[in-house]
Structure 1
Amino acid sequence: MAHEGGRARFHRLRVTAVDRLTDDSVALTFAVPPELREAYRFTPGQHLALRRTADGAEIRRTYSICSPAPVEGAPSSLRVGVRLVEEGAFSTYAHKEIAVGDEVEVMTPAGRFTLDPHPATEPAPTTGHYAAVVGGSGITPVLSIAATLLERAPHARFCLIRSDRGTASTMFLEEVADLKDRYPDRFQLVTVLSREEQQAGLTSGRLDEERLTSLLPALLPVERVAGWYLCGPYGLVQGAERALHSLGVRRERVHEEIFHVDDGPARDRKAAPTPAHSTVTAQLDGRSGSWAVEDGESVLETVLRNRPDAPYACKGGVCGTCRAFLVSGEVRMDRNFALEAEETEAGYVLACQSHPTTEKVELDFDR
């Protein structure tokens, strides 16, 4: 991660390209000046938070890096994919207003939905076989993962199973086709269109748990895949996770990132209520402070009232930017689509989704 040992920070980066991918998606390319390149060094699969102010309100959104990580050195440019969301405050701005030459506030890379491939000078991974199940814009981080892996690990193989509504809405068609052309023996592509008949290949329809359970063993040696990367809408990711579990895949080999959480469950907010008088103590950039929690606030909201520099991006429990270590006390997390089980077991929480259930809660954002 670019900012290992320090928090992610925003810098103004210049837009060098705005490429229209489909009617409802674009790719934005940012130039990274030499003095900031180390700060923007990234692991394939990470994302960037973009920030703007509109009508006096700050808007942040996270978008995954789609470009491969450079073989040597830090990146001189970064490219992200942006899908237009209905009435989306940032995606509409990206589609209609951002132009080449503009400057955008971009946070340094974050996220743990990653695969750090062995460089070509090192031995290939044990099995060398990786796979992904993606839906819609979930292709974005996986494109970076697959392209970097195939370039750096000459014996690695990657199987991409992608689901889209139709060809016209499929992001990064040319980039994925280029991977197939460059690595015909090591890159396997399976495309499923849910609302459009295909001339060849699989029949149309949704990639649900039942279909994946029968499809995956027919495509590749499931038991020998070193890492599974599931990315896209909540329903697709959960169905793929259940299919892999039924096929005997160990949990530590499965990595997930949710892009859409509208249909995801949230915990009952009436359970484990916040005490009448709660205090949050937070360690941030080596400085500590304690503040009273106002009615209904999340831990992050309490900290932000007093420390506007507290890290966050999506506030939806998806990106993991507000990850913090729970030093003492207890909290209730409404949603968690960013932390792995081993992280929560180790004591990490998402501040944006956490509400105190004890009178005193202490967090450390620096760990």
Structure 2
Amino acid sequence: MARPATEMDRSARHGAFHPLRVAAVDRLTDDSVAVTFAVPPELRETYRFTPGQHLALRRAGGGAEIRRTYSICGPAQDRDGPQTLRVGVRLVEGGEFSTFALKELAVGHIVDVMAPAGRFVLEPGPGRYVGVVGGSGITPVLSIVSTLLAREPEARFCLIRSDRTVASTMFLEEVADLKDRYPDRFQLVSVLSREEQQAGLPSGRLDQERLTGLIRTLLPIEAVDGWYLCGPYGLVQGAERALHALGVPRKRVHQEIFHVDEGASAAPARAAAPSHAAVTATLDGRSGSWPVQDGESLLEAVLRNRADAPYACKGGVCGTCRAFLVSGEVRMDRNFALEAEEVEAGYVLACQSHPATEQVELDFDR
């Protein structure tokens, strides 16, 4: 029987950070590392995760707080919660945290880490599943497939991955190990966009047309129970369109976007908020009401009064600031995190939402 949630549990689900010690920093490629954190016994329950979830990391830099989210890449195998947590970090041009992680972070350093979050997940069970990933999009899918195959003997997984070159491919050895360990249940299809392979598929971009042909050739489409798409915006959108054209039901498709193209990320012009707009927010069982200043997002208004409000990227990508719209109306600038079903159910991204009515009520606890 599941135990009732405590105040500590609710806090862990939202904006609470805990200092964790870096146990290892492993170089994966010239521009990526895997960082392992040690989890003390008293926090193992707090950091229990479902395969596919991510962690928000925090550090001070340049007089401001920097937060970034990185997906957990290790399997969820510990029944009592993880003893360690491993995430993959790829260098982003101009990225403050990724630069720090690749050039300065070392064993023994302490990093503030939020409890696991995210809904791009797969609870292990029998069935056939497919992952379509690009670049660092392999990170959460590696956790998903390694956990699935280890726990569920009746599960099969096909991984279609796209990378620039062999040298730039993250977790190359880990994926190869899965192929050796589960030869009958794990299928791997690798595509390189900027380098020819000695065997296998010719190089080139994995676009919608190419994906459609691959899926038709490789997979019994109707027998696939779940599709997991992760990576840059263009790849994920192309894969989603390919699956739609092939008649795959929307409810079987799950996606997480790691990078958003410039054209897709352009926000619409903001209309002025209603005069005297206010937001009421419930967070960890406590509610409050505060004015929303002109141009502010609802998250910014809440943060002025509740520093523990959950957020990470503030770009509409990670979904950490997801909240239920209890009443009122909002306008979301961008949404690359919520599924269509979540939006229809009433969920919004607080970092991208602006009041369209004078009174708006959010619930971060739902």
On whether the aligned pair clears a TM of 0.5, the verdict is yes
Q: Does 1:96 align with 2:95?
A: no
For residues 85-164 of structure 1, what are the structure 2 equivalents within 5 Å? 85-118=92-125, 125=126, 128-164=127-163
Corresponding residue for residue 121 of structure 1:
none
Deviation at 1:55, TM superposition (A): 2.4
Q: Secondary structure at the match of 1:203?
A: coil
Corresponding residue for residue 44 of structure 1:
51
Deviation at 1:205, TM superposition (A): 0.5
Counterpart code for 1:52: R
Deviation at 1:293, TM superposition (A): 1.1
| Unmatched runs of 5 consecutive residues or more in structure 2 | none
Q: Describe the superposition over 1:306-338 as per-residue Cα deviations: whole angstroms up to 9, x where unpaired.
A: 111111111111111111111111001111111
Matched residues in 1 for 2:329 and 2:266: separation?
18
Deviation at 1:4, TM superposition (A): 6.6
Matched residues in 1 for 2:108 and 2:33: separation?
16
Corresponding residue for residue 364 of structure 1:
363
Corresponding residue for residue 185 of structure 1:
184
Counterpart code for 1:231: C
Deviation at 1:273, TM superposition (A): 4.0
Q: Does 1:314 align with 2:313?
A: yes
Q: Secondary structure at the match of 1:28?
A: strand
Deviation at 1:267, TM superposition (A): 4.9
Counterpart code for 1:337: F
1:77 aligned residue (69, 75, 84): 84
Deviation at 1:5, TM superposition (A): 4.8
Matched residues in 1 for 2:118 and 2:201: separation?
33
Corresponding residue for residue 325 of structure 2:
326
Q: Secondary structure at the match of 1:235?
A: helix
The verdict on how the C-alpha distance between 1:66 and 1:255 changes in structure 2, with shifts beyond 3 A counting, is same
Counterpart code for 1:301: E
Matched residues in 2 for 1:105 and 1:5: separation?
18
Matched residues in 2 for 1:336 and 1:258: separation?
10
Corresponding residue for residue 122 of structure 1:
none
Matched residues in 2 for 1:210 and 1:56: separation?
47
Q: Secondary structure at the match of 1:228?
A: strand
Q: Describe the superposition over 1:21-45 as per-residue Cα deviations: whole angstroms up to 9, x where unpaired.
A: 0000000000000000000000000
Corresponding residue for residue 31 of structure 2:
24
The verdict on how the C-alpha distance between 1:312 and 1:357 changes in structure 2, with shifts beyond 3 A counting, is same
Matched residues in 1 for 2:282 and 2:98: separation?
33
> Would you say the 8 A contact 1:198–1:204 is kept in 2?
yes
Matched residues in 1 for 2:77 and 2:54: separation?
16
> Would you say the 8 A contact 2:272–2:294 is kept in 1?
no
TM-score (norm 2): 0.95
> Would you say the 8 A contact 1:136–1:170 is kept in 2?
yes
Corresponding residue for residue 212 of structure 1:
211
Matched residues in 2 for 1:208 and 1:276: separation?
46
Q: Sequence identity of aligned pairs in percent?
A: 78
TM-score (norm 1): 0.95
The verdict on how the C-alpha distance between 1:31 and 1:138 changes in structure 2, with shifts beyond 3 A counting, is same
Q: Which moved more, 1:53-62 or 1:40-49?
A: 53-62
The verdict on how the C-alpha distance between 1:247 and 1:265 changes in structure 2, with shifts beyond 3 A counting, is same
Matched residues in 1 for 2:66 and 2:79: separation?
34
Matched residues in 2 for 1:193 and 1:262: separation?
20
Q: Secondary structure at the match of 1:275?
A: coil
Moved over 4 A (4+): 2-6
> Would you say the 8 A contact 1:134–1:230 is kept in 2?
yes
Counterpart code for 2:224: V
Deviation at 1:155, TM superposition (A): 1.5
Matched residues in 1 for 2:183 and 2:175: separation?
12
**Pairwise CA RMSD of aligned residues?**
1.4
> Would you say the 8 A contact 1:71–1:152 is kept in 2?
no
Q: Describe the superposition over 1:226-283 as per-residue Cα deviations: whole angstroms up to 9, x where unpaired.
A: 000000000000000000000010000000000001332445224x542132111111
Corresponding residue for residue 350 of structure 1:
349
Matched residues in 2 for 1:283 and 1:186: separation?
45
Matched residues in 2 for 1:65 and 1:49: separation?
10
> Would you say the 8 A contact 1:139–1:231 is kept in 2?
yes
Counterpart code for 1:62: T
The verdict on how the C-alpha distance between 1:313 and 1:265 changes in structure 2, with shifts beyond 3 A counting, is closer
Deviation at 1:287, TM superposition (A): 1.7
Matched residues in 1 for 2:351 and 2:317: separation?
10
Matched residues in 2 for 1:201 and 1:5: separation?
48
> Would you say the 8 A contact 1:283–1:289 is kept in 2?
yes
Q: Does 1:13 align with 2:20?
A: yes
Q: Secondary structure at the match of 2:304?
A: helix
Deviation at 1:285, TM superposition (A): 1.8
| Unmatched runs of 5 consecutive residues or more in structure 1 | 119-124
For residues 164-203 of structure 1, what are the structure 2 equivalents within 5 Å? 164-203=163-202
Q: Does 1:303 align with 2:332?
A: no
Matched residues in 2 for 1:267 and 1:342: separation?
22
